[in-house]
Each structure stands twice: as C-alpha cells, then as structure tokens.
Chains A and B, each alone.
Chain A
Amino acid sequence: MHELPPTLAAVAQVGVPVIEVSHVSTRFGTAVVHRDVSLTVVRGEVFAIAGGNGCGKSTLLREIIGLLAPTTGTIRLLGTDSRQLTQSNGSPLQRRFGVMFQHGALFSSMTLAENVAVPLREHTPLSAEAIRDIVALKIALVGLPPDSAIKFPSELSGGMRRRAALARAIVMDPELLFLDEPTAGLDPMIAAGFDDLVLELKRLLGLTIVMVTHDLDSLWRIADRVAVLGEGQVLGLGTMDALARSDDPVIRSYFHGPRGRAAHLNHSGMGLQRD
C-alpha cells in the first residue's frame, strides 16, 4: 500500500497514536516537575495541555519535541523515541513537526519572509522561486498582508508576530503542529481569530495539533481533548464537557472559577446561536 498523504491519512487513521508519553518523570535538581505522566495524542485531533502556572506544561512540551530529555520514562513522537531528537540534530523527524513558540521566536535579523523560508532553505533543494511562492502562500494562509513579508519582526505587532510564527511552523506542511501558549497576551478578538485560524489550517492541511494553553476560551472552542496537569501529574484527561463535570477539586477550581464559568457560558451561548 502506498503511504497516504497527510490529508487522507488524517481521515483514514483516526485513533492512530502520534505521540505516546509513558511514565515520564522530570526533576530539576530537587524540584520535581512531573511524576509519572502518561498520555497519548491520536492523529487528527486538537490536544490541549492545560494547568496552572508552573505545573510543567511547557516543560512537557519541550520534552515531547526533544529540546529536553525527561529524567525517566519514554516519549515516542511519530513512532520514534524523542531522545533521538535531543541527541542528534537534523533528524528527518524534525521536518515532520512544526513548533510555534510562545513569544514567536522569530529571528530578529531576518525579514518575515526570510524567517518563514528558513526550514525550506535548510531542508529542501527547492529553487529560490519555488521557496518564494511557498512562503508567500503560507504568509497569505495565516492572513498576513503581502507587504508584511519584507518587514522585520520588530516592525510587526504582537498579533502579527504570532501569525508569522505560525506561518513558519507550518511552512513544511508538518503532520504535527505544536503551539505554546498561542493566544497568551492577545486581545480577545484577535485571540478568537487566531483560534479560528488554527482550526482552518487544521482542516486544510490535515494537522494534528498539540497546544499548551491556559486560555479557557481557546480550550472550549478548539480543543478536542484536554489534559489537565497539576502537582506534577495528569489530574484529568478528556473532552472539555467531561472535565467540566469532574469532581477533582483542582480541576473544579480551574474550570469553575469566574473566568472558567464565563468561558463556558460564552461557549454554550455560541453553540446555541449556531443551532
């Protein structure tokens, strides 16, 4: 059988695990960040990792993408141990996922177009013209105007920088997209627009998305499943509806605080309007 392209694969292989985190513990010196964390992300879903500040969400993300090795336990990313990513540079695996960092992490000495072109330049023998076209497509896809391509990151607003970072993360058509706090620090309108953009790109490009966030609106709007981290463990894992009914005190305080209720109401209100 031929290997299926990403878009078809997403349809055909729902339920196939793309990330398997098993029994991961992390310690920095004496500080314990994770105690026996296990979770699985399946192809085609939007998987969110939520939890309070300092609960190890971003650390877990860094471990999954191989920037950091867990103290014990294994993480398999697209079937490969992510320790291999830590040990070697330029693994072909690295071309199969894209990462959008919290503050964009755009290279400040390059224009937006050059930033987006970096993975293409480094990993493909494509001609300059083809690279320019692909970059222009990705910039248009994330909703940035064409003339922003020649701007430097310092000349872009926060929302535009986020979109630019997203364009760079999806430039290689990755199977997996990691988003670290994609909507933090954005105003509610732009944040909602960003959520829509992520869903749209997921549909168009057949992405599997893993995002770290504590934006409750985002969680209600786009997450298929959510893992709530706390006290170094997975406190709850499931759909938002299931988590909202959970009895765990930490999860309850997380989802039923004033902001959590507002986000929920907001979400169900919109659901009604759509019906």
Chain B
Amino acid sequence: MDDRVQQAAVSLVEGRTLRCRGAWTMPDVAPVERALRRMTWPARSALVFEASGIEAFDTGGAVVLYRALMEARRQGCEVSIQGLRPDYAQLMSLVSSHWAAMVAEVAPRQNGSERFRASIRNRVAQGAGALEFLGESATALVRLVASPRRLRWRSCLNSLRLDGVHALPITGLLTFLIGVVIAYQGAEQLRKFGTNIFIVDLVGISLLREIAPLIAAILIAGRSGSAYAAQIGTMKVTEELDALQTFGLSPIELLVLPRVLALVVALPLLTAYADVLGVFGGMLIASNQLNVSFTAFLSRFEEAVALRHMLIGLGKAPFFAVIIALVGCYQGFQIRGGVDDVGRHTTISVVQSIFLVIIFDAICSILLNWWNL
C-alpha cells in the first residue's frame, strides 16, 4: 500500500467503542493484530466496532477483525460492527462462513510411542528390503552367468567410462598428494634415526595395502555411488522404472548389474593407477628430503615390499566396488518420490557405502593378521 492511505490503527474509546482506522491489508495489518491480541476487553458490556475508518481491507484484515470479534464475544461482550463498507462486509461474511473449518481441531499425525513403533517397523522393513534386493541381484547375476548374452554391454561400457575413466584425474591427483604427505611425515622421523631408506617400506606398504584402495573406494562412493542413487531414484520418480517393468525388462538386470560389473572392473584398475601415482609422490619426497635417489628407491622397493601387499590391496577393490554399487542402487530404489527424498537417499548411499567399505576393510585387516599375511 502507498502512503496515501493511513496506517492501520485501533483504539478503545471509553470502554465501549473500538475505533478501527487505516489500511487493514497484508502486511500492514500486523501492528493492529498485535494490539488486538493484547487488548483487554471490558467484561460483559455492549461493544461497538466502529469500522467506518477502515480505508482498505483484504482477507488478512478480515481475519484479524473477525478473530477480535470472536474473542470479545467469548469474554461475554455484546459486539456489533458499525460502518463497515458493504464490500468489506462481504469479506467479513466470507470469513464467518468458513470460520468453523478454520478453527477445526486437527488431530496430530502420530504421538510419541506410535512414532517409535512406526520407526521400528520401518527399520525392520528396510532390512528385509535390503535382503530382498541382495537376493534379486544375486539371482539376476546367476541368470546372467547362465546366459552371458543378456549382459548390457553398452551400459556396462558407458558406466566404465563415466565411473572409471573420468575418475582417473581426481584419483591420481589425490593419491599422489597422499603419497607426498606420508613421505613428508615419515621423513621427519626416519632422519632422526638415520634410517632414510626405510621410507620405501613406509610408503610402499601403507599405500599399496591400505591407503590407495581406500582412497579410490571413498572417491568412487562419493562420485558414482551417489550418482547411482540419484539416477535410479529420479527414474523411479518419473515412472521410468515402471515403464521398464511393463516391457518385461528387469530394472535390476538393466540398471544394477551393468553398474556393479563396471565398478568391479574399474575400481581395481583405479586402485592400481592410484598405487603408481602414490608411490611416485613418495619417491619424489624421498629424493628431495632424504637423498634417496629414484634408483635406490626402486631397488629397495623390490626387496622390501612383498607382492602380497599389492595383491591384498587390489584384491579388496572388487569387494569395495560391489558394496558401493549395490548400496547406491539400493538407495535409488528406496526413493519414493519428492525432491527431498532424492537428496536424502543420495546422502544415505554415500554414508552407508563408505561405512561398509571401512567395516569390510577392518575385518580384512583382522583376518589377514590372523593368517600372518
């Protein structure tokens, strides 16, 4: 509203007349609304709402005026409205005709214990759903092994390109930097004891066996696992999954298996690539900080770092890949519609897959330690 219209105002005159003035429109009616709510109505008397001073009125103003009217009546006043322009009175009758619906008590959705029980049921159903998904994927895999021609080469190769080839730069850069960091930290300690050459053992074993596979897996979980969840979830929201099923095509076979297989191939390759760049990073620092030349580094590498460390690291990668791909796809299928659901399940997919990857890695470490590997 512009300034040609007076500000909305309200005042109680002589305890019997409520004088209303100005523009009773949103948002300018706010101060009046506050004043009316704080107002103490004269008990059990006849009260007149003098409304001829109202210069502009909308449903917001009508709601505020009507609530004041009802409140005064509730406190035992005889209230009448005077001077309200006919078209404004129409708005008032609009409010009064819908008043019952407006103040209708709406039962809250659920109380505490119901919500608790629902969340337990939900958890159980989710666990069952995850098992079912795992089973379906396994049977689809068996069918695929029985007739390999069913494999969707195209989407496999596409996934290999998007999730493998396109991840090379970032994976390489990160593990290179991790190699640099490990070598730097080790260099400080090793120099104190004059055992510079052990930098090779430090960098080689830790990177090949643990760090490179983990870094690659975490990166892929963030990069590809989340993408799987979002892609499949969006397909679900847009009913593309339903369309697939009406053609007799299994979404698991079409969407999940190619992604799982692609990651099972891509992640070990990425890990090997990460091994090379990580060790290279350590090698640079070794020659720079510890005077261990490249040739000395490499000849020591052959003696000190047994092949099994690399094989263990590479051997874990396919399992990581299965975890990441299955969790991502499963969370995608869990999306029920709605924009925030897509975001929520994408987040869950990343957190869950990283969690499971680290759990799996820890179990591997314990078992391999028992077997003295």
Residues of A within 8 A of B (CB): 1-8, 108-109, 120, 123-127, 129-130, 133-134, 136-141, 145-147, 149-150, 152-154, 172-173, 204-205
Q: Does B336 contact A (CB under 8 A)?
A: yes
Structural contact, B109 and A173, CB atoms closer than 8 A: no
Tell me the smallest distance from the CB of B36 to a CB of chain A, in Å: 10
Sort chain B's interface into a size bin.
35 or more
Q: A2-B4, A108-B340 are known contacts. Are A127 and B30 too (CB-CB below 8 A)?
A: yes
Contact B102 A173 (CB under 8 A): no
- The residue from A1, A5, A126, A154 contacting B29, defined by CB atoms under 8 A apart: A126
Q: Which residues of B contact A (CB under 8 A)?
A: 1-2, 4-5, 25-27, 29-30, 33-34, 37, 55-60, 63-64, 67, 87-88, 90-91, 94-95, 98, 101-104, 106-109, 336-341
Known A127-B37, A130-B63: A147·B106 in contact at CB below 8 Å: yes
- Assuming the contacts A137-B95, A140-B102, A154-B337, asked whether A130 and B59 have C-beta atoms less than 8 A apart, the reply is no
User: Using Cβ atoms and an 8 Å threshold, which residues of chain B touch A7?
Assistant: 87-88, 90-91
* A150 with B59: CB separation less than 8 A: no
Task: Establish whether residues B33 and A109, one from each chain, have CB atoms under 8 Å apart when the complex forms.
Answer: no
Complexed CA–CA distance, A205 and B91 (Å): 8
| Closest chain A CB from B261 CB (angstroms) | 34
Known contacts A5-B56, A150-B106; is-contact A126 B27 (Cβ 8 Å): yes
Among B29, B33, B57, B102, which residue has its beta carbon within 8 angstroms of that of A146? B102
Bound CA span A9–B29, Å: 20
Pairs A-B, 9 closest by C-beta atoms = A124-B27, A136-B102, A140-B98, A173-B58, A108-B338, A146-B104, A140-B101, A5-B56, A109-B340
Whether B26 lies near A172 (C-beta < 8 A) is yes
B111 to chain A: closest CB distance in Å?
14
Q: Which residues of chain B are near A145, meaning CB under 8 Å?
A: 101
Closest B-chain residue to A1, C-beta based?
A: B4
User: In the complex the two chains form, what is the Cα distance from A7 to B59 in whole Å?
Assistant: 11
Contacting residues, chain B, for A120 (C-beta < 8 A): 26
A84 to B106, CA, bound (A): 42
Kindly list chain A residues whose C-beta atoms are within 8 Å of the C-beta of B67. Answer: 129-130, 133
B295 → chain A closest CB, angstroms: 59
Q: How far is the CA of A205 from the CA of B5 in the complex (A)?
A: 20
Is there an interface contact between A137 and B4, defined as CB atoms closer than 8 Å?
A: no
Q: A3-B1, A146-B101, A147-B107 are in contact. Are A137 and B59 (CB under 8 A)?
A: yes
11 sample A-B contacts, Cβ–Cβ < 8 Å, listed by A number: A3-B2, A109-B339, A124-B30, A130-B29, A134-B59, A136-B103, A141-B94, A145-B101, A147-B106, A173-B26, A173-B60
A2 to B4, CA, bound (A): 6
A154 touches B56 (CB 8 A): no
**Residue on A with the closest CB to B67?**
A133
CA distance A205 to B56 in the complex (A): 13
Please tell me if the beta carbons of B27 and A5 are within 8 angstroms of each other in the complex.
no
